[in-house]
Amino acid sequence: MTQTEQVLAAIEAGMAESTARWMEFLRVPSVSANPAHLEDCRAAARWACGQLEAAGFAAALRETRGLPCVVARNQAPEGAPRLLYYGHYDVQPADPLDLWRSPPFEPVLVDGPRGPRMVARGAVDDKGQVMLWLEAFRAWHQTVGHIPANITVVLEGEEEVGSPSLEPFLTANMAEFAADAAVISDTNMWDIDTPALATRLRGVIYIQIDLKGPSRDLHSGLFGGSALNPINALTAILGRLHDSEGRVTIPGFYDGIIPPSAEELAQWRAIGFDEAAFLGDIGLAHPAGEAGYSALERLWARPTADLNGIWGGYQGPGSKTVIASEAHAKLTCRLVPGQEPGRILASIKAWVGAQLRTIPGGADATVTFSGEGGGPGTEISMANRLFAPARAALRDEYGREPLLIGMGGSIPVVEMFKRVLGLDSLMLGFGLDDDQIHSPNEKFELRCFRHGMRSHARFLGALSAGW
């Protein structure tokens, strides 16, 4: 029996305990977007610290400008590869709460069409994925006595609010994070039987737009026809965000985009992605994106502009004949490699102002922007040193070759690790498209959890062989 086989046997024997630990982690409502959950976030960090210590790591909570990072290090054999493992202990807000079938922070294992699944906020994003390597570390440590890699762990608590403190923290402590490469588990498999490695990630920028008009709420009869209506104005502006072909109208939005290579496009075509089924799962039948591109291009290689929230005026029962004094919206754009986040944020601001000036009375409105942030899209080189052992581990675990894919979601830390620490990242993820991350009833299949732990354990074993 090889060391890896011993570790895999230990993982099988310890499934119940691993699941119980995972549920402990999920019970902590570590919602970083809501200041009321600050203490819960710190509790989640302390819990993860304890887990790393149990896996043989020296671990500590390290203060940042915001929520603390968990930083941990192990002792490995001389010459072993140096890896930086990244994850996050914070989760998205759980609302709308009334759409959850069970309370979001009371994890439950329920039967699904593919066996048991864990339902809870953070079940997969990112607590479930973090558990995969925490448990693999623990199994290597307890079975073999060491982990065959020099590992530094950094677990942050602000990923869901754009990681505002991570970069200053990394920059201030760069020497601690020197490594050969980074490992990140925050992505999806192709499907439950087919692992995937991501070679392309979209970036994201976000901005809140606040438009103020009259100094107070007004009666729409006494003032309608003379006074600027901020909700009318905001919808007039944001209603122009796309043209009739689904293209974003912000000037310069598409400048500099690096299209996918012919090889990537050929791979994506070969995948045989079924957009009808993809949309059917969420009750839709017609693609809503940009005309002239395939589904996978629209999801992986084209930028988007999505309003994530809008509000103003009266939202209660019945009618209220008011002209509200303010209106608000939250906008995010998914970016692809070649687009510059700062330039696009500046373009959005200029564009909103220019649209406002075309609206009768718009000159009186004041627009303010807040919560700006984000990062660019990223390409991950297939020449990355971790690719070969990762492909081998996944091939051995699943009995098939992993697909090389793009990712529609954004993992800004990938770009940050490259820029700040000079590290390439390996995306070793085990989520599924229907996991409902950021939505009510987020779940993670127990089957993905099991194969995910085993894949991480195999990857560590493959590293010791192939480095």
Q: Give residues 218-277 in contact with a copy of itself (rule: CB under 8 A).
A: 218-229, 231-232, 234-242, 244-246, 275
Query: What is the rounded distance in angstroms from the CA atom of residue 319 to the CA atom of residue 308?
Result: 25
79, 145, 272, 316: which one binds a copy of itself (CB under 8 A): 316
CA dihedral angle for residue 225, residue 227, residue 233, residue 236, rounded to 10 degrees: 10
29, 128, 148, 213: which one binds a copy of itself (CB under 8 A): 213
Amino acid identity of residue 410, one-letter, is S
Task: Name the residue with tokens 């627009």.
Answer: 367
Of residues 136-165, those binding a copy of itself (CB under 8 A): 160-162
Closest distance between a copy of itself and the C-beta of residue 161, in Å?
A: 5
Nearer to a copy of itself, 338 or 440 (CB): 440
Of residues 367-386, those binding a copy of itself (CB under 8 A): 371, 373
Phi/psi at 116 (nearest 5 deg)? -65, 150
The answer to whether residues 154 and 407 touch, using CB atoms and an 8 Å cutoff, is no
Taking the alpha carbons of 113, 116, 120, 124 in that order, is the dihedral positive or negative? negative
Residue 161 Cα distances to 36, 156, 355, 389, angstroms: 14, 11, 28, 33
Q: Is 349 in the site for a copy of itself (CB under 8 A)?
A: no
Closest distance between a copy of itself and the C-beta of residue 335, in Å?
A: 11
Going through 18-114 in order, the beta strands assigned E by DSSP cover 58-62, 69-73, 82-88, 108-112
35, 113, 272, 399: which one binds a copy of itself (CB under 8 A): 35
Closest distance between a copy of itself and the C-beta of residue 130, in Å?
A: 18
Closest distance between a copy of itself and the C-beta of residue 7, in Å?
A: 32
Supply angle C-alpha 342, 346, 349, rounded to 5.
140
Closest distance between a copy of itself and the C-beta of residue 26, in Å?
A: 19
Amino acid identity of residue 285, one-letter, is A
Taking the alpha carbons of 432, 435, 436, 437 in that order, is the dihedral positive or negative? negative
Residue 154 Cα distances to 87, 132, 177, angstroms: 7, 15, 9
Query: What is the rounded distance in angstroms from the CA atom of residue 416 to the CA atom of residue 33?
Result: 21
65, 269, 320, 343: which one binds a copy of itself (CB under 8 A): 320
Count residues binding a copy of itself (CB under 8 A).
112
Q: Is 279 in the site for a copy of itself (CB under 8 A)?
A: yes
Closest distance between a copy of itself and the C-beta of residue 8, in Å?
A: 30
Q: Could you count the other beta carbons within 10 Å of the beta carbon of residue 382?
A: 12
16, 172, 277, 363: which one binds a copy of itself (CB under 8 A): 363
Q: Is 323 in the site for a copy of itself (CB under 8 A)?
A: yes
The answer to whether residues 63 and 162 touch, using CB atoms and an 8 Å cutoff, is no
Nearer to a copy of itself, 13 or 282 (CB): 282
Angle, nearest 10°, between helix axes 15-26 and 446-466? Answer: 110
Mapping DSSP onto H, E and C, the string for 400-450 reads CCCEEEEECCCCHHHHHHHHHHCCCEEECCCECHHHCCCCCCCEEEHHHHH
Closest distance between a copy of itself and the C-beta of residue 97, in Å?
A: 12
Closest distance between a copy of itself and the C-beta of residue 242, in Å?
A: 7
Q: Is 334 in the site for a copy of itself (CB under 8 A)?
A: yes
Closest distance between a copy of itself and the C-beta of residue 57, in Å?
A: 31
194, 208, 267, 347: which one binds a copy of itself (CB under 8 A): 208
Amino acid identity of residue 204, one-letter, is V
Strand-pairing partners, residue 108, are 119
Closest distance between a copy of itself and the C-beta of residue 359, in Å?
A: 8
Phi/psi at 408 (nearest 5 deg)? -75, -30
Nearer to a copy of itself, 34 or 173 (CB): 34
Task: Name the residue with tokens 């195999």.
Answer: 458
**Contact string 404-433 vs a copy of itself (x = CB under 8 A):** ---xxxx----------------------x
53, 255, 306, 401: which one binds a copy of itself (CB under 8 A): 306
Of residues 437-466, those binding a copy of itself (CB under 8 A): 437-441
Supply angle C-alpha 233, 238, 244, rounded to 5.
125
Nearer to a copy of itself, 29 or 461 (CB): 29
The radius of gyration computed from the CA coordinates of the chain, to the nearest angstrom, equals 24
Nearer to a copy of itself, 179 or 411 (CB): 411
Nearer to a copy of itself, 224 or 466 (CB): 224
Q: Is 58 in the site for a copy of itself (CB under 8 A)?
A: no
Phi/psi at 444 (nearest 5 deg)? -140, 125
Closest distance between a copy of itself and the C-beta of residue 237, in Å?
A: 7
9, 20, 33, 346: which one binds a copy of itself (CB under 8 A): 33
Of residues 177-196, those binding a copy of itself (CB under 8 A): 188
313, 347, 349, 369: which one binds a copy of itself (CB under 8 A): 313
Of residues 286-305, those binding a copy of itself (CB under 8 A): 286-291, 295, 298-299, 302, 304-305
